[in-house]
Amino acid sequence: MNTQVPAPPTLPITEVNALEGRPHSTGLPEVDRVLSGGFVPGSVALLGGEPGVGKSTLLLQVLAACGGRALYVTAEESAQQVRLRAERLGALHPHISLLAETSLPRIRAAIAAHQPDLVVIDSIQAVADPDLASGPGSVTQVRGCAQQLVADAKQSNITTILVGHVTKEGTLAGPRVLEHLVDTVLSFDGDRHHALRMLRAVKHRFGTTHELGLFEMVGDGLRAVPDASQMFLADRRNGVPGSVVTPLLDGHRPLLVEVQALVTLSSLGSPRRSAQGFDQGRLALLLAVLEQRAGLLVAPCDVYASVVGGIRMGEPGGDLAVCVAVASALTGRSIPPGVVVCGEIGLAGELRQAGHTPRRLTEAARLGFSTAIVPRSAVVSVPQLEVIGVSTIAEALAALHIIDLVDPVEEPLVHSAAAH
Ligand code: TYD
Ligand code: MG
């Protein structure tokens, strides 16, 4: 055993100060939601996102809202540019200091001298340590600089946020190599053609990673979207064939979105299939199920299906909505207003629970929907909502009067709203 090293003190777990690990609110509720309350002092977060998504904007707004002493290190833009942006955002506050610098030793010296509560490094890829041999932006540089900043953050208890650019392909000499170094990894993304932006925690040592923060990029920065469902449905037209609403779940957050489909007879040898906002392969699978299990002839048709509003449907709970939208478009029969559908579809055409059905249906009822078609096993009682349970895709389409079932296997299981 090495007796040369003095033994460091240990502490009974009960005597560790839990208050030190408490998050401090950022002043922006949508950000706090994702962080389970806010940033924990001395913690290090990495904010990753594609160039132009709004990372610098978001962080400037965080610094303005959080109220503490803040240092914004801009390694990409000039201090003037940052000031102009802050003016546009209404984030011009004397408690925010700026440093336009790319050299790591100088940045560390500034942090040590300034002693802010919160420091932002925008971006970590643009910072370089002259003592490291490789060039700026290389993995060695990015990792080496981040390591030193993380060590400083822990020692001085200064909350540190590193910005990292991520490209669409996920090929990044930056963020991925840092994920294990930091306490929190946030991802900020959104469709280029939409104003909607989504903030998620990919990793979070101080809370859950299930919460979704939603923002809209407007003229004066990012605006929180507390009622996303209402926003997604604002422009919806009732009574149009090929349109249906489904309650999706993103993390813990229920979102009502419209799924649309357009079906036309194809002039091509191999008809076109286009899925927007969800997986192309999933559309192909669901079309095959529709054809084989519900008897709808989609093979000769071009099929376009999309999730409206720039949201990505990353869960199978939207399967039924895709099938219903396609079937409705194909037959020209519209879905009655006030109906939502929700459920995963198996290859046999059976409907499966998508998880957290009550939370989804409560959101549908809140927005004034009156009827829900769900898998039979997921039927629950929700105030103000008639919940209809069906076993197969064919039964679901029959319940919506899109197809006529010759010999129904089972009657739908109805949990009527009148029962409440
Ligand atoms: P930015 O925060 O610079 O993105 P990132 O740091 O992730 O590269 O934001 C860039 C985009 O946001 C830019 O295309 C313009 C737009 N934007 C607005 O629409 N409104 C605003 O108030 C601001 C500041 C930016
Ligand atoms: Mg930026």
How far is ligand 1, taken at its centre, from the CA of residue 221, in Å? 7
Opening angle at CA 199, ends 182 and 311, nearest 5: 140
Is the domain of 91 the same as that of 171?
yes
Is the domain of 112 the same as that of 215?
yes
- Cite the beta strand spans of 75-220 per DSSP E: 96-100, 118-122, 159-165, 184-189, 196-204, 212-218
For ligand 1, atom 12, the nearest C-alpha belongs to 54
Residue 282 belongs to some domain of the structure: yes
| CB of 85 sitting under 6 A from ligand 1 | yes
Dihedral sign of CA atoms 44, 45, 46, 47 in order: negative
Opening angle at CA 64, ends 61 and 67, nearest 5: 140
Atom of ligand 1 nearest to the CA of 49: 7
| Overall average pLDDT of the 154-177 stretch | 79
- Does residue 242 register a pLDDT over 80? yes
Instruction: Give residue 175's pLDDT band: very low, low, confident or very high (50, 70, 90).
Output: low
Q: Which of 200, 226, 252 is the last residue of a domain?
A: 226
Output the pLDDT for position 295. 93
Is the domain of 30 the same as that of 131?
yes
Is the domain of 95 the same as that of 194?
yes
Atom of ligand 1 nearest to the CA of 195: 19
Residue 14 belongs to some domain of the structure: no
Q: Which of 197, 226, 255 is the last residue of a domain?
A: 226
Do 415 and 375 touch, CB atoms closer than 8 A? no
How far is ligand 2, taken at its centre, from the CA of residue 165, in Å? 8
Is the domain of 206 the same as that of 281?
no
> CATH number for the domain including 64?
3.40.50.300
How far is ligand 1, taken at its centre, from the CA of residue 192, in Å? 11
Alpha-carbon gap, residue 395 to 392, rounded angstroms: 5
Alpha-carbon gap, residue 35 to 32, rounded angstroms: 5
Q: Which of 210, 226, 242 is the last residue of a domain?
A: 226
Output the pLDDT for position 328. 97
Q: Alpha carbon 79 to chain centroid distance?
A: 31
Is the domain of 254 the same as that of 399?
yes
Residue 15 belongs to some domain of the structure: no
Q: What is the pTM of this model?
A: 0.84
Q: Which residue, among 293, 295, 319, 292, has the nearest Cα to 307 in the 3D structure?
A: 319
Residue 10 belongs to some domain of the structure: no
Residue 95 belongs to some domain of the structure: yes
Atom of ligand 1 nearest to the CA of 122: 6
Residue 16 belongs to some domain of the structure: no
Instruction: Give residue 59's pLDDT band: very low, low, confident or very high (50, 70, 90).
Output: very high
Give the domain range for residue 64: 21-226
Is the domain of 361 the same as that of 380?
yes
Is the domain of 197 the same as that of 242?
no
| CB of 220 sitting under 6 A from ligand 1 | yes
Closest-approaching ligand to the CA atom of 48:
1
| CB of 198 sitting under 6 A from ligand 1 | no
Output the pLDDT for position 192. 76
Is the domain of 216 the same as that of 250?
no
Q: What is the number of structural domains in the chain?
A: 2
Alpha-carbon gap, residue 342 to 350, rounded angstroms: 13
- Does residue 65 register a pLDDT over 70? yes
Alpha-carbon dihedral of residues 127, 130, 134, 136, nearest 10 degrees?
20
How far is ligand 2, taken at its centre, from the CA of residue 157, in Å? 25
Instruction: Give residue 269's pLDDT band: very low, low, confident or very high (50, 70, 90).
Output: confident
Alpha-carbon gap, residue 196 to 214, rounded angstroms: 7
Is the domain of 314 the same as that of 327?
yes
Alpha-carbon gap, residue 380 to 389, rounded angstroms: 9
For ligand 1, atom 9, the nearest C-alpha belongs to 54
Residue 7 belongs to some domain of the structure: no
Is the domain of 144 the same as that of 115?
yes
Output the pLDDT for position 167. 72
| Overall average pLDDT of the 206-229 stretch | 90
For ligand 1, atom 10, the nearest C-alpha belongs to 52
Residue type at 337? P
Residues at Cβ < 5 Å from ligand 2 ion: 56
Residue 353 belongs to some domain of the structure: yes
Do 172 and 125 touch, CB atoms closer than 8 A? no
Element holding 250 (H helix, E strand): strand 243-250
Output the pLDDT for position 420. 45
Is the domain of 210 the same as that of 251?
no
> CATH number for the domain including 292?
3.30.230.10
- Does residue 174 register a pLDDT over 60? no
